[in-house]
Amino acid sequence: MSNLKESLYQDRLVRLQQAMKQQGISGFIVTQNVDLYYMTGSMQNGNLFVPVDGEPIFYVRRSISRAVTESVYTVEPIGALKTLQQQLSSASSGSEEQPLVLATEFDVLPVAQFQRLQAMFPAAKWVDGSLIIRELRMIKSPHEIAAIKRAASVVERALASGLRHVRVGMPEFELMAHIEHQLRIQAHAGIMRMRAYNAELITGVVAAGSAAAVPTYFDGPAGGLGLSDASPQSASRRQIQQGEPILLDLGCMIDGYVIDQTRTAVIGTLPEDLQYAYDVAEAVLRATEAKLKPGTPCEELYLDALRQVEDAGLAEHFMGYGENRVKFLGHGIGLEIDELPVLAKGFKYPLESGMVIAIEPKFTFEGRGVVGIENTYLITDDGFEKLSISPEGVAYL
């Protein structure tokens, strides 16, 4: 293991154990694939046991041989839950004076699996460790930032290629397929991971005109008809027409890390009111950028944006329409596309150097389409760095 890699994972371990000590946690059992990868460098099937002091042990079911190669920590086979119980019992302790307090990720762990863990340690007190590990992941290392930058370069080239192929009568899914092909041949993993329960994401949303404004279960300002009711989001068979907004909300995963950006295009020109809405979206983005610096509360960015769009007379269209409006301006991004912090009311987190956030002011017009823009940003010591590199402004085709 290189010194750089060892230092990266050691820093994560130290920060996790510090948080555990502050909250009186004896041990943390990491179960979710993304969290396992973040903590060990391996995404094999198993559980990582992190004691409040000392070295973690990665108990692996499959593939043990690959985990040994990938993981920065000692790997032990578990075989069965009874074996894991014996191994974890010997690696953890508790007493009347210091009862065993165990944490795991309540936000993603299935109830049946959690109940098995509870049965293994009947005397333990269980606490939710979800926020601990999600807050740990908010601050990105130079290694993580470099991967997101590579993803931004891939999206920029794929989008430019896609725009050259747009034509009147082209089905949305054909444009999406072209863009996805360009992403894949540049090493996009083909998936976009999300943490939220039942949340799924393809490569993003490529939709035009009224189809883009069709609401769906996805927690975002644009939905898309999708190819069927079994996949009710993003591109459909609907044909792209002249003079309607084409929403290109694209993601890309390179080496596990994702970028998220949106651009608006049109064959010809946009109707005057939709062009106005797009211009307001860019104005909201510029005003938000002016406040992107350490110490700014996340909710302040959202509340300021609400006031700005209200003054522009577009409040009812901001981030969706009617009952389908979403109540955020942006979100953290990294190994998952829905990371902390969230730019929304109630999120008091101050911006910190090392956070990576996607900011996406958009306006939805029922029956007509969606316009807007989205960039991904790195918060730096004295401001921000824009990681998205695709040209801004409406792409007139």
Domain boundaries, the chain: 3-136, 142-396
Strand ordering across the sheet containing 339-343? 339-343, 330-332, 356-359, 375-380, 383-386
What is the rounded distance in angstroms from the CA atom of residue 247 to the CA atom of residue 339?
23
Q: Is the pLDDT of residue 156 over 80?
A: yes
Residue 2 has pLDDT above 70, yes or no: no
State the pLDDT at residue 260. 97
Residue 327: burial class (beta carbons within 10 Å; 0-12, 13-18, 19+): middle
Query: In terms of CATH, what superfamily is 142-396?
Result: Creatinase/methionine aminopeptidase superfamily (3.90.230.10)
The pTM score is 0.95
CA nearest neighbour of 304 among 278, 286, 326: 286
Kindly state the average pLDDT of the residues 166-171. 98
Whole-number mean pLDDT of the chain? 94
d(CA 205, CA 145): 24
pLDDT of residue 1: 57
* pLDDT of residue 300 exceeding 80: yes
In this prediction, residue 219 carries a pLDDT of 87
Q: What percent of the chain has pLDDT over 90?
A: 88
* Whole-angstrom distance, CA of residue 362 vs CA of residue 372: 4
Asked whether the predicted pLDDT for residue 96 surpasses 60, the reply is: no
- Please report the pLDDT score of residue 88 as a whole number: 67
pLDDT in tens, 244-297: 999 999 999 999 999 999 999 999 999 999 999 999 999 999 999 999 999 999
pLDDT at 80: 63
Assess contact for 198 and 216: CB atoms under 8 A.
no
Angle at which helix 298-311 crosses helix 272-289, to 10 degrees, equals 150
Identify the residue with better confidence: 88 or 156. Answer: 156
pLDDT band at 301 (very low <50, low <70, confident <90, very high): very high
| pLDDT, position 99 | 80
Taking residues 301-319, report their average pLDDT: 98
Give residue-wise pLDDT tens across range 3-62.
Answer: 777 889 999 999 999 999 999 999 999 999 999 999 999 999 999 999 999 999 999 999
What is the model's pLDDT at position 79?
74
How many C-beta atoms lie closer than 10 Å to residue 310's C-beta?
12
Q: Give domain 3-136's CATH superfamily.
A: Creatinase/prolidase N-terminal domain (3.40.350.10)
Weakest-pLDDT range from 65-74, 88-97, 98-107? 88-97
Name the token pair of 315.
Answer: 């409040």
Query: What pLDDT is recorded for position 20?
Result: 97
In what order do the strands lie in the sheet containing 125-128?
Answer: 74-77, 57-62, 45-51, 27-30, 101-104, 125-128
- Residue 175: band (very low, low, confident or very high) from pLDDT cuts 50, 70, 90: very high
